[in-house]
Amino acid sequence: MSEAPPAIHAAEVGDGDRRVVFLHGLFGQGKNFTQIAKALQPEFGSLLVDLPDHGRSAWTDGVDYVRMADAVAAFLRDGFAVSGPVHLVGHSMGGKVAMVLALRHPELIDRLVIVDIAPAFSEGSGQFEQLLGALASLDLTTLRRRGDADERLRESIPDPAVRLFLLQNLRAAGDHGYAWQAHLDLLRRDLPVIGGFPDLSEPPFDHPVLWVAGERSDYIRPEHEPEMRRLFPRTCEVTIKGAGHWVHSEQPAAFVSALRVFLGAA
């Protein structure tokens, strides 16, 4: 019998004195930030988290931002943040988890970085409805090799980089062929929850916050700014030129530069 996965799985990269935690977006994994974490060495030690229902973390019975944030907070409190507050970086869905975590557990977080997402309904979630629908249409029982999945998705997902990102979640399942490592059915069902943002009663997070937008993305809009600044009054915004929604993978050098400046500030 295989061992049950942990509630939260994470991997450490580097052992620098400054400590930063990365939270990935929908259908991502902590390892998506490996190259960013390596580029931040030697000053920074990084923790790459698999959020619930993703990667090597356990599956749940439903998406809930408060529950996810509290689970990550408990994990940090017992480990990576045991010696004091850490920096927190969250992209897309992970950015919403990061915002909720900072608001509910401010004692754990020093500086916060929110990447291409806002504390509001995400208009771009319709893109993920199409993408996850395409994945759900794959008959995994007929796959002989991973390349078969890539071939069958070319028409519905023409961008090879997006296909590669999504298919990182396809794993060999022994005699059973292939299976999704992420909880595809649940994530697809709960897309309206993922696209939203919870109504919280916590006071504003009064620490420095960097709000990173992709120049070619529309996930952050002018109408989002008042709520962002109400919840996070010490927010500064930067736009990464040439980047879409996946800022850290499309413009990694610019993204690392922005992190170094912000997280390294006195």
Same domain, 19 and 116: yes
Work out the pLDDT band at 4, boundaries 50, 70, 90: confident
Instruction: Give every CB contact of residue 253 below 8 A, 6+ residues apart in sequence.
Output: none
| Domain region containing 94 | 9-123+196-263
Does any domain span residue 244?
yes
Same domain, 111 and 134: no
The pairing of beta strand 170-172 with beta strand 178-180: antiparallel
Bond from prior residue into 42 cis (ω within 30 degrees of 0) = yes
Whether this model's pTM surpasses 0.85: yes
Instruction: Give every CB contact of residue 54 below 8 A, 6+ residues apart in sequence.
Output: 24, 27, 28, 29, 169, 181, 182, 183
> What are the C-alpha distances in Å from 101 to residues 90, 116, 139, 157?
10, 17, 37, 33
Same domain, 103 and 20: yes
pLDDT at residue number 177:
81
pLDDT at residue number 123:
78
pLDDT at residue number 67:
97
Q: For 19-23, 162-166, 181-185, which range has the lowest pLDDT when averaged over its residues?
A: 162-166
> What are the C-alpha distances in Å from 259 to residues 18, 44, 211, 223, 240?
12, 11, 11, 25, 12
Q: What is the DSSP letter of 203?
A: P
Same domain, 48 and 159: no
* Percent with pLDDT over 70 in the chain: 97
Same domain, 156 and 134: yes
Question: Among 147, 164, 189, where does a domain finish?
Answer: 189
Same domain, 29 and 116: yes
Question: Among 136, 167, 189, where does a domain finish?
Answer: 189
Task: State how many domains the chain has.
Answer: 2
Same domain, 168 and 118: no
Question: If you average pLDDT over every residue of the chain, what do you get?
Answer: 94
Question: Among 189, 224, 242, where does a domain finish?
Answer: 189
Does any domain span residue 2?
no
Does any domain span residue 105?
yes
Q: In this model, does residue 236 exceed pLDDT 60?
A: yes
> What are the C-alpha distances in Å from 240 to residues 74, 199, 258?
32, 29, 9
Task: Write the CATH number for 24.
Answer: 3.40.50.1820
Same domain, 49 and 155: no
pLDDT at residue number 1:
41
Same domain, 146 and 85: no
Catalytic residue numbers, as ranges: 92, 185, 245
The mean pLDDT value for 34-60 works out to 97
Instruction: Give every CB contact of residue 175 below 8 A, 6+ residues apart in sequence.
Output: none
DSSP letter string over 20-44?
Answer: EEEE--TT--GGGGHHHHHHTTTTE
Q: In this model, does residue 170 exceed pLDDT 50?
A: yes
Same domain, 245 and 113: yes
Does any domain span residue 3?
no
Residue 38 near residue 13 (C-beta atoms within 8 A): yes
